[in-house]
Every structure is written in structure tokens, then in C-alpha cells.
């Protein structure tokens, strides 16, 4: 059997192609791919756009199309997860069909990518069989000494070239990690992070209305793929917070009903500025802070909100072992827990958001070099205000619990279950030290005087609120080690709504109070 080989020299590297195979690619042409995202498209792919145009790639890079799907080994059925554009990856080069060849793909998740417009229209799993003749050494090359010599020479040349390329790619990877963060996941990262979109295509996102502006970012209501989403936009100086939030959202087991649902992220840059976008599910009711300013809540709503807050915090604080589908979830401390970082869903359940200051505790690893006095002063625990934190995992979790107690107090203060007067909404410690406390103000009142927000006697006349107030007081205990855990708080609150026969189901709307304030620069 005659074997013909063509040797091509390019930039000092040797590339071998079987004769008769012509690989052509027009890197300048626009690439279109079939689009689908199970997180955005509902139950049917017909609700989504049929295709998306890939953004122009960087010089020397390519766009590809990809498919991500899941196979159930029990039912022998496959479920499509995502289709769309995929940024430059050697694994995808010059593949005209979308075929998964890996015989042992992790997590029953299958990924394939290809080059060319709409090449991800069809996809399949076709694991490469092992050639037994090659394993046994029984090949035609064994019988041809000249072919053996030529193959050896070419193999040595190819090995040197590959080694050179690998070293060059490693160097480029190091420089890219050192000087930039393009946030384009590898195929393996895509499989591990199937809940997020690998390429959002910012041109498809239409900003509609700015909702809030905080210290680190502004949050917009936006339209994306015919869906309403929230877009959190960080300026260039907020890049670290943007990166931290992504890392938290993409941890294994982070998809939870009481944690804000993450869609994806991108870097948006032009000639004048660079911005970092974080896209999440949009919740019309806004934050718990915003809602409580204009509304009081029923007892059943109070229980629902409080329980989902506790469950979300418990999920963050839990370490979840790896399983066949997901890796291990480490413990996460929020470190900026407050009512503006709790969002309300349409069904009045809460979900926790804003992980820009969060800290991850990996098993058998120290928490590293971190600053203890971070967060919002009003919600800082006594040990944080004092600068007396033990830099251990449990210490940071107890700080979250203290802040959670203040949020639950805000919720209780607007609950209509008791017979007493429901006053205007106030922030924790607003009555004692006003709207803009300094660090010294907080130290004086919380650390030295051990003051906590006032719990009215009328609240304690309602058996449910009495139990909630007892839980709150144990959570903001001055002694950090005496505070409850998030799992204990969840257990206590979960039974409150069933313990009462009476459900005050009327939601009382409060007249708009002229308490408008410029949220920009406002220190909660």
C-alpha cells in the first residue's frame, strides 16, 4: 500500500497533511451558528432565535459552532442544552461536522464543535474505536523498511515541531492569564459550566432602563434573545468584583432556587472604555429593601421570604461533595449580606445576589491573604468593626449570620401579622445613628454599647413573630460563637408558617413617602 505525504513549511513549523485533502478557511467571513440555550428558551427550541451571528474574532483567531447535550444512561435519551457560537479552540479546527469522539466524556455531558456556517445543525456521538492492529504492531509499515525509515524521520521532525508549538502556546497562555481576562471558556470548562452561556454576543443585548447604581456597578433591565434579563455593568476598576462573581456563580452545585440565577458574562470594550457585563435572571419586584420601603407583608409572605433567605444562605455555607454529575462545592461566605442584595421573585420567594466580595473556602486550604473589614458598615458584625476577626471559615460564616439577623429584623418590622402600629420602613440602626453612619459611629453603638435594633413588644404578642424574634436575637449575639448556623435558622423558620392557624393574607400598600434618595453613592 503506497502512502503519499505532503510536507508544508510555515513559519518554521512542519505540518503533515495526507495528500489530496485541502483544508480551506476564510477567517474574515462572518460565521453563523444554530442557537439554543435551555436556560433562556423555555421548554421548546421554537421560542428561541434559530441562529446567531458570531462576533468578529480577534486577529489570528477563529469562530466555531458548538453543541452541548446530556445523555441519560438509564433512559437512553439525550437532552439538548446549548447551541451557538464558540470562540477559538484547537479542538474545533477544520471539523466540518459536529461530532463528539471522546469515549469517556465526563458527567454524561457531550460536547462537539465544528468550523463553518450552521455546521452545528446536526450533531452526534461517535467514539473513536481502538485500532487493534496498531496495538499489536501488525501494520503495513512493519513490513516496509523504507517506509519505517521515512516515518521515523518525519515523526522526529513532527515531534520537534509539536514541542515548539506547545511551548509557544504555553507561553501565550501565561501571558494571556497575566495581562488579560477574555473569559472565553475552553470546551472542558464549557461542559463543567453548562448553566452559563459561553458567548453572549453583546450586540444582542439591548439595555432598557437603569434600575440601581451602587459602589461597584450599575444594574440595568435589558432584553436578550427575546427575554428580559438583568445586566450588571462594572467599570474597569470593578473588574475584580466581576471576576469574583463569575467564579462564585460557576462553582459546582451553585444552581439553586434561592440563589440568583446566572446566565453569562462578557467584556465590552471600545476605543474609549472597557466595561464588564454580568447577565442574570431579572426579577421585577427588585430588592427586599426596595419592596419593604413601599409595602408591608403578610405573615405567610414573611415566612416565605425568611425561609428562602435562610435556605439560600445555608446553601452558600454548605460544602457539598462531588457526585457523578458535579464537582465538589466549597463553602462560600457572602461578606456583604444586606437587604439590597436579596431579590424578590414574583412568587415572593427571595434569592441571594451580589457575590463581588464573597470568599471561597476550599477544603484543606487556608483562606489566604484577605481583608477582614469589608462590606457595608451598617451590617458589620461587632468583631468586624473591632478588627478582631479570626481568619477561619467559621468566623466568616458567623459574620454572615449577624447580617442575616438584621435583614430578618427589617422583614419583621414590616410584617402585618401583629396588632400594633406598623411604622415607616427604616434601615437597621437608622433610628439610633441616622442614614450615613461612620465607622466610629458603628463601633460606638454596636461594639461598645452593644445596641441592636429595637424589637417592639407588639411583635412578641404574635406567636410566630415571637419565635422569629428569638431567632433574630440569637443570630446577632455579641459572642460570635453563640450565633446560630444557617442550617439551624432554616430549620427554625421552616415550621413557622405551619404553626399558626391564622394567616393575615392582606397586603397593605403604604403611601409613597417622600424619602427619595440618590442611590448613587448611598452607603447602606
Mean pLDDT, rounded, for 217-245: 92
How confident is the model at residue 19, as a pLDDT?
Answer: 35
Residues above pLDDT 70, as percent of the chain = 69
Spatial separation of the C-alpha atoms in residues 313 and 404, rounded to whole Å = 9
Selecting among 115, 258, 290, 336, the annotated active-site residue is 336
Spatial separation of the C-alpha atoms in residues 47 and 276, rounded to whole Å = 28
**5 contacts 19 by C-beta, under 8 angstroms:** yes
Residues of 215-247 as b/e, b for ≥16 C-beta within 10 angstroms?
A: ebbbbbebebbebebbbbbbeeebeebbbbbbe
Tell me which H or E stretch contains 314.
helix 299-317
Backbone angles phi, psi at 245, to 5 degrees: -60, -45
Cell of 419: 396588632
How confident is the model at residue 15, as a pLDDT?
Answer: 36
How confident is the model at residue 362, as a pLDDT?
Answer: 87
336 is catalytic: yes
How confident is the model at residue 39, as a pLDDT?
Answer: 62
Instruction: List the one residue out of 83, 97, 94, 93 whose CA is nearest residue 32.
Output: 83
Task: Pick the more confident residue, 139 or 416.
Answer: 416
Q: What is the mean pLDDT of the chain?
A: 78
Band the pLDDT of 71: cuts 50, 70, 90: confident
Angle between helices 463-475 and 486-494 (to 10 degrees): 180
Mean pLDDT, rounded, for 167-176: 56
Spatial separation of the C-alpha atoms in residues 228 and 231, rounded to whole Å = 10
pLDDT in tens, 196-220: 444 566 668 899 999 998 878 999 9
**463 contacts 502 by C-beta, under 8 angstroms:** no
Band the pLDDT of 397: cuts 50, 70, 90: very high
How confident is the model at residue 523, as a pLDDT?
Answer: 43
Please write down the HEC assignment for all residues of 218-242: EEEEEEECCEEEEEEEECHHHHHHH
pLDDT in tens, 242-300: 999 999 999 999 999 999 999 998 888 766 788 999 999 999 999 999 999 999 999 99
Spatial separation of the C-alpha atoms in residues 312 and 304, rounded to whole Å = 12
| pLDDT at residue 380 greater than cutoff 50 | yes
Spatial separation of the C-alpha atoms in residues 4 and 21, rounded to whole Å = 11
Residues above pLDDT 90, as percent of the chain = 45
**111 contacts 190 by C-beta, under 8 angstroms:** yes
Spatial separation of the C-alpha atoms in residues 305 and 288, rounded to whole Å = 9
Amino acid at each position: 500500500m503506497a502512502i503519499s505525504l505532503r510536507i508544508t513549511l510555515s513559519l518554521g513549523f512542519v505540518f503533515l497533511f495526507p495528500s489530496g485533502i485541502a483544508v480551506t478557511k476564510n477567517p474574515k467571513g462572518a460565521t453563523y451558528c444554530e442557537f439554543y440555550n435551555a436556560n433562556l428558551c423555555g421548554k421548546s427550541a421554537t421560542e428561541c432565535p434559530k441562529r446567531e451571528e458570531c462576533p468578529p474574532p480577534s486577529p489570528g483567531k477563529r469562530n466555531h459552532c458548538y453543541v452541548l447535550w446530556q445523555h441519560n444512561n438509564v433512559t437512553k435519551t439525550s437532552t439538548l442544552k446549548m447551541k451557538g457560537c464558540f470562540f477559538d479552540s484547537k479542538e474545533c479546527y477544520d471539523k466540518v461536522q459536529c461530532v463528539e469522539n471522546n469515549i469517556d466524556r465526563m458527567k454524561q455531558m457531550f460536547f462537539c464543535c465544528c468550523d463553518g456556517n450552521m455546521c452545528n445543525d446536526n450533531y452526534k456521538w461517535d467514539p473513536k474505536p481502538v485500532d487493534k492492529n496498531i496495538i499489536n504492531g501488525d501494520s503495513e509499515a512493519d513490513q516496509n523498511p523504507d517506509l519505517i525509515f521515512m516515518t521515523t524521520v518525519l515523526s522526529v521532525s513532527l515531534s520537534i515541531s509539536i514541542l515548539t508549538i506547545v511551548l509557544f502556546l504555553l507561553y501565550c497562555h501565561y501571558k494571556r492569564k497575566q495581562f488579560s481576562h477574555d473569559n472565553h471558556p475552553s470546551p472542558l470548562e464549557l461542559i463543567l459550566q453548562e448553566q452559563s452561556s459561553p458567548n453572549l454576543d453583546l450586540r444582542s443585548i439591548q439595555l432598557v432602563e437603569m434600575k440601581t447604581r451602587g459602589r461597584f456597578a450599575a444594574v440595568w433591565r435589558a432584553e436578550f434573545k427575546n427575554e428580559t434579563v438583568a445586566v450588571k455593568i462594572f467599570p474597569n476598576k470593578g473588574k475584580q468584583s466581576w471576576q469574583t462573581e463569575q467564579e462564585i456563580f460557576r462553582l459546582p452545585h451553585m444552581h439553586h432556587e434561592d440563589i440568583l440565577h446566572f446566565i453569562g458574562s462578557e467584556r465590552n470594550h471600545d476605543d474609549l472604555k472597557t466595561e464588564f457585563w454580568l447577565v442574570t435572571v431579572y426579577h421585577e419586584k427588585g430588592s427586599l429593601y426596595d419592596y419593604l420601603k413601599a409595602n408591608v407583608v403578610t405573615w405567610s409572605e414573611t415566612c416565605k421570604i425568611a425561609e428562602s433567605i435562610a435556605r439560600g444562605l445555608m446553601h452558600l455555607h454548605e460544602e457539598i461533595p462531588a457526585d457523578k454529575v458535579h464537582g465538589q462545592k466549597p463553602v462560600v461566605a457572602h461578606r456583604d449580606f444586606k437587604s439590597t442584595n436579596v431579590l424578590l421573585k414574583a412568587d415572593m420567594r427571595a434569592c441571594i445576589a451580589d457575590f463581588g466580595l464573597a470568599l471561597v473556602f476550599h477544603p484543606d486550604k487556608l483562606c489566604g491573604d484577605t481583608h477582614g473589614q469589608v462590606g457595608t458598615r451598617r451590617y458589620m458584625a461587632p468583631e468586624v468593626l473591632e478588627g478582631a476577626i479570626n481568619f477561619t471559615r467559621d468566623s466568616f460564616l458567623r459574620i454572615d449570620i449577624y447580617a442575616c439577623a438584621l435583614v430578618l429584623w427589617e422583614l419583621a418590622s414590616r410584617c402585618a401579622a401583629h396588632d400594633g402600629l406598623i411604622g415607616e420602613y427604616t434601615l437597621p440602626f437608622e433610628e439610633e445613628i441616622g442614614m450615613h453612619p461612620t465607622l466610629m459611629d458603628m463601633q460606638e453603638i454596636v461594639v461598645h454599647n452593644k445596641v441592636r435594633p429595637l424589637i417592639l413588644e407588639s411583635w412578641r404578642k404574635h406567636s410566630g413573630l415571637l419565635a422569629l424574634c428569638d431567632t433574630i436575637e440569637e443570630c446577632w449575639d455579641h459572642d460570635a460563637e453563640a450565633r446560630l448556623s444557617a442550617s439551624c435558622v432554616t430549620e427554625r423558620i421552616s415550621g413557622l408558617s405551619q404553626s399558626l392557624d391564622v394567616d393575615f393574607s392582606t397586603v397593605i400598600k403604604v403611601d409613597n413617602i417622600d424619602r427619595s434618595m440618590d442611590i448613587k453613592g448611598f452607603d447602606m
